[in-house]
Amino acid sequence: MFGKTFAGSPRRQRFLGNRREVQPRLEAAKMMDRLTLLPAELLDPKYGVMSSPLLPTLASKFSNLLVDPWESQAALSVLLAYYGLSCVSTIGLRQEPTFGNEKLITTPIAFDFSHNDHRMAQYLMWGHVLKAVDALVDLLQQLDYLGDPALGKMWDRSLIYVATDFGRDKTRPAKAESWGTGHSLNNGTLIVSPLLKGNRVFGGIEPTTCETYGFDGSTGDSTPGLNCSEGHIYSAIAQALDIEFPERIDMSALLA
């Protein structure tokens, strides 16, 4: 009855098309066995699913793989790229706390921790973020691109972008002993890649306001008063990965 009622529905047609064409290809590619992060002892044999062949390698870098969603996302992103199933992955921190091995792994609400204890939350969260980034770099340097030694290492073609949604106002009100800070679009961006000039800070900080300013994308010269927008960052990433688009801003100063 449902099929008759919605026979012409585009959504139903897409669903049937996926079930008829895409699902068999997914089964033939054995992606479940390639992407499964559970060890063999936690898998029910009756389903016929195997652990990923790369699980021991991933577990050596991500010690909380089974309890920390952040680490499991990072591990899965490596598998998706290694097997050629995705050219880009987005992973993100959760807003609720994560516990594992009888200890707190991440604070709730990411870096804010409900607007209390910012310094401790920042310390814990940055450590958590950069530990995963460090593990990703190690794995990408270790693994062959698409599993083929002739193609070089995955890291040779990789770029890690640590994104953030907002910064904070920096100015302290006159004579204030304590004060709050509002959201601010003024912020910095961390990009790690062999395709870019490493160990560099582009732009600068205005000492009277403690806010950042941008730089000339073609020369790298700091430019007080210039705000680099999302378009500048997007262009830098696209140019590093050799992706053309009509509105791309020249950011060649960042390229290795």
- Residues 190, 140 share a domain: no
CA 58 to chain centre: 17
> Whose CA is closest to 142, among 218, 56, 221, 205?
56
- Residues 69, 19 share a domain: yes
Alpha-carbon distance 214 to 192, whole Å? Answer: 18
- Residues 172, 245 share a domain: yes
Last residue of a domain, one of 97, 132, 154: 154
- How much of the chain, in percent, has pLDDT values that exceed 70? 93
Q: Is residue 170 part of a domain?
A: yes
- Residues 149, 48 share a domain: yes
Instruction: Give first-to-last CA distance, the chain, whole Å.
Output: 61
pTM reported for the whole predicted model: 0.82
Q: Is residue 7 part of a domain?
A: no
Please compute the mean of the pLDDT values over residues 13-19 and round it to a whole number. Answer: 94
Domain that residue 49 falls in: 14-154
Give, in order, the Cα–Cα distances in Å from 248 to each of 94, 154, 161, 187, 217.
32, 26, 18, 21, 11
> Whose CA is closest to 205, among 187, 193, 190?
187
pLDDT digits (tens, 9 = 90+) for 202-252: 999 888 877 889 999 999 999 998 888 889 999 999 999 999 999 999 999
Sign for the CA dihedral angle at 23, 24, 25, 30 comes to positive
- Residues 146, 35 share a domain: yes
Report which of residues 180 and 163 the model is more confident about.
163
Q: Indicate if the pLDDT at residue 182 is higher than 80.
A: no
Q: Is residue 9 part of a domain?
A: no
- Residues 187, 102 share a domain: no
pLDDT of 224: 92
Please compute the mean of the pLDDT values over residues 161-189 and round it to a whole number. Answer: 75
Last residue of a domain, one of 134, 154, 174: 154
Q: Indicate if the pLDDT at residue 1 is higher than 80.
A: yes
- Residues 189, 135 share a domain: no
- Residues 187, 132 share a domain: no
Last residue of a domain, one of 154, 180, 215: 154
Q: Is residue 2 part of a domain?
A: no
Please compute the mean of the pLDDT values over residues 51-75 and round it to a whole number. Answer: 94
Q: Is residue 49 part of a domain?
A: yes
How many structural domains compose the chain?
2
Q: With beta carbons less than 8 A apart as the criterion, state whether 183 and 209 touch.
A: no
- Residues 118, 89 share a domain: yes
Q: Is residue 249 part of a domain?
A: yes
- Residues 150, 40 share a domain: yes
Q: Is residue 1 part of a domain?
A: no
- Residues 163, 147 share a domain: no
